[in-house]
Amino acid sequence: MSPEDAVSSPSTGWTEGWWRGARAIASPHHGPRPPGTAVDLLVLHSISLPPGRYGGDEIERLFTGRLDCAAHPYFAGLRGLEVSAHFVIRRDGELLQFVSCDRRAWHAGASSFAGRPNCNDYSIGVELEGLEGTLFSAAQYAALARLLRELAAVYPLRAVAGHEHVAPGRKRDPGAGFDWARARRDVALAGLGWPDAAGPS
């Protein structure tokens, strides 16, 4: 079922992994999760295209396979890339959803968490519009807190990590500009593990 055909449940706001609180933009870059896999990790990323430029539709175009790689010199390195995330949170707090949370989005790449490889298999990927090392907006923290509470009501989340934690040495996002203590306070979900300065808890 496409997100356009989905009829949200009045009790949870979810239909087949799509949340009615997000604007649906279906990406082709996903696949099935391994049978019986518990979706228990959320991976936070940051993205801006080109780096440091906000507000355009380039992220949407990348995640849906429609980015014009001739439009900017930086985009040349993205040619042929098939990537997505479940959600993107824009600077103003707008929430976009590209892949059903019941499906495996292609966001983490080579990765592992708590000794388990292939984080895409069991995680939900959330991209924050931003640049690693710079600050994120209050609207983004508020949207993330709401999204995490909604996800935790439907999926057995037990931890949150950054891309930098599940792919250390290869990735650095969301980076030093992301306030993990603030996010943890805003969400305040008992039993949910969060990173500290040394890495995931």
For 63-105, how does the pLDDT look when each residue is reduced to its tens digit (9 = 90+)?
999 999 999 999 999 999 999 999 999 999 999 999 999 999 9
Residue 74 DSSP code: G
pTM for the structure as a whole: 0.92
Fold of 23-48+82-200: Lysozyme-like (3.40.80)
**The predicted structure's pLDDT at residue 190:** 87
Catalytic residue check, 60 = no
Catalytic residue (choose from 4, 60, 94, 127):
127
Give pLDDT tens digits for 1-45. 333 333 334 347 999 999 999 999 999 999 999 999 999 999 999
Return d(Cα 15, Cα 5) in angstroms, integer: 10
Cis peptide preceding 35, ω within 30 of 0: no
**With the C-alpha atoms ordered 7, 26, 142, 110, is the resulting torsion angle positive or negative?**
positive
- CB atoms closer than 10 angstroms to residue 111: 23
- Percent of the chain's residues with pLDDT above 90: 90
**Any bridge partners for residue 109, and if so which?**
none
